[in-house]
Amino acid sequence: MCGIVGLLVKNQKMRSQLGELMLPMLIGMTDRGPDSAGLAVFGTPVPKNERKFNLYTADEDFNWQKLGHDFQAHLGNKADIALKVNHAVLTTSLEPTTVKVWLKDHYPQLHLLSVGQLMDVYKDTGTPAQVAARYDFQKLSGTHLVGHTRMATESAVTPQNAHPYTAGEDWCLVHNGSFSNPNSVRRMLQHKGIAFETDNDTEAACRFLEWRMREGDDLNTALHKGFEVLDGFYTLLMGTRDQLALVRDPFACKPAIVAEHDDYVAIASEYRSLAQLPDVKNAKLFEPMPEELYIWKV
Amino acid sequence: MESLDLHKITVRELNQYLHKEFPQKSDKKLEILNPDGVHSIAVGLDTEAEVDIKGHGGYYVGGHNKHAKITVHGNVGWGVAENMMSGQVRVKGFASESAGASGHGGTLIIEGDASLRCGISMKGIDIVVGGNVGNFSCFMAQAGRLVICGDAGDALGDSLYEAVIYVRGKVKSLGADAQEEPMTDADYAALKGLLDIAGFNHNPKEFKRIASAKTLYNWNADANQEY
């Protein structure tokens, strides 16, 4: 079991309150996912030539200042580092591949959570309330986000195995359910040179969809290929630069409910995570149909 | 009317009250405020009473109900009135999956749509849905009646036993061993009774009867496993 939440704010005035609005949604899903939590938030983009690298280490005493020095000394380019406990956002104009290789060579203990221009990713073990407090989710702002609370069923409880999963830039996915063929999907993708970081089933689905889209499929086509290849139960919520997308497996084995309001669109596994939203009684509530793709644009 | 607020007490406290003190009251009418999608509201009632839930319920609202009349003024999550024994549960909004699952008796009325697997494995409950039902509804239903005033999804009545389905709208597909049968006078009378209880003003003549062809009742060694 896991919990999923998503929030897209249509009313521009509410964008500064994105984290505050989301927090009761995430905490509302604690019963469905008490062991880890995470989210991806889409905010103001960095300039076109820059990228944000979201980094995580379990070591709270990690010397980020030294990393900044080393980065400049080795690569001859300044990196801006914004720190939140053991999570950092490194912003630089250097080419992403160069940065990724350098990080892997010099700081292999760091986990690269995401690369992109708008998206920040936080994920860690602990209850949703603990993770939210650790990274100050309440103060987050932006246009949209996807969140997840995890109850692990198929791989270990570690920060890396928490959701969201990302592949490519500014794209992420959270999953409630379980896939029955992640190993064969992973092997198939590894033969194509796609690298994996965990043995988690969701990562296999995430990299499969990202691979299809890199091969030229749009999200809808990629998901229809997913219906054929990915065997199992799932409600998937995806975030892109400017949209949220939701899909449920053909048997609708995992729940989802949507609230469409003039000010926002909110998605959750269960209504109890939507109950605290402002004026939710005037929102249009509905349950998404199985095997149908729902997309909301910013 | 007595009023209890789920912002002030837990659902466990509510249900313990409903099981212990509430049946002793002379005026057994109660409203529950701020349900906010909490699970297991008013589960296990065993007394003639009227309970109004003012808002959206979570999973298993009115589960195991015996004798009580429960009305939800909103939507409900999975498994509303699951395993109900008698009495009535009415949902003014829509119901999520597995509504009335395994119910033995009583009446479940859903004024809006019901999602997938409505009436799965029902064992004597009557379910009346004002709107549509999702895929796999009435799967392995053993006894009771499901009335669908709207359309039905895929695999309606798959592996039915003795339960009977009355459907007014389109059926996307029938499940294994489910078949359409002619309506008899007894069907029209039974259906009219159910529609009257639910307060839906449809003409019974607009409904079709779906029941089991009973070809799965006995093992057929020649069937080549082609179910």
pLDDT, greater one: A267 or A1: A267
* Res A1: pLDDT: 85
CA pair distance A92, A107, nearest whole angstrom = 17
Domain boundary among A99, A117, A135: A117
Task: Give the best residue of A271, A282, A286 to mutate against chain B (max B CB count within 10 A).
Answer: A271
Q: Is A248 helix (H, G, I), strand (E, B) or coil?
A: strand
Give percent of chain B with pLDDT exceeding 90.
94
Containing domain of residue A230, as a range? 2-45+124-297
What value of ipTM does the predicted structure carry? 0.94
A112 & A177 share domain? no
Instruction: State how many domains chain A has.
Output: 2
CATH code for the domain in which residue A291 is found:
3.60.20.10
Mean pLDDT of A65-94: 95
Query: Residues of A with CB below 8 A from B116's CB?
Result: 251-252, 290
The verdict on a CB contact (< 8 Å) between B37 and A272 is yes
Mean pLDDT of B171-199: 98
* pLDDT confidence band for B222 (50 / 70 / 90): confident
For the segment A51-62, what is each residue's pLDDT rounded down to a tens digit? 999 999 999 899
What is residue B219's predicted lDDT score, i.e. its pLDDT?
A: 81
Separate counts of helices (H) and strands (E) for chain B = 2, 11
State what percent of residues in chain A have pLDDT above 90. Answer: 96
- CATH of B2-212, picked from 3.50.50.60, 2.160.20.60, 3.90.1300.10, 3.40.50.1820, is 2.160.20.60
Last residue of a domain, one of A117, A142, A174: A117
Closest CA to A268 of A85, A69, A78, A2: A2
Q: Are residues A72 and A176 in the same domain?
A: no
Q: Where are the alpha helices (DSSP H) in chain B?
A: 11-19, 185-198
Q: Where are the domains of chain B?
A: 2-212
Could you tell me the pLDDT band of residue B226, with boundaries at 50, 70 and 90?
low
Q: Look at residues A65, A82, A117 and tell me which one is the last residue of a structural domain.
A: A117
Report the catalytic residues of A. 2
Nearest to B5 by CA among B17, A26, B62: B17
What was the pLDDT predicted at B220?
78
Give the integer Cα–Cα distance in Å for A295 and A244: 6
> Which of A252, A270, A290 lies closest to B77 in CB terms?
A270
Residue range B11-35: mean pLDDT, rounded: 97
A-chain residues near B10 (CB < 8 A): none
Q: Residue A294 in 3-state DSSP? A: strand
Burial class (CB in 10 A: 0-12, 13-18, 19+), A237: buried
Residues of A in contact with B36 (CB under 8 A): 271-272, 275-276
pTM above the 0.90 mark?
Answer: yes
Q: Is A37 exposed, middle or buried (0-12, 13-18, 19+ CB in 10 A)?
A: buried
Q: Determine contact, residues B204/B192, Cβ cutoff 8 Å.
A: yes
What average pLDDT score do residues B148-153 get? 98
Q: Strands B88-91, B69-72: parallel, antiparallel or unpaired by DSSP?
A: parallel
Band (A183; pLDDT cuts 50, 70, 90): very high
Residue B91: predicted pLDDT: 98
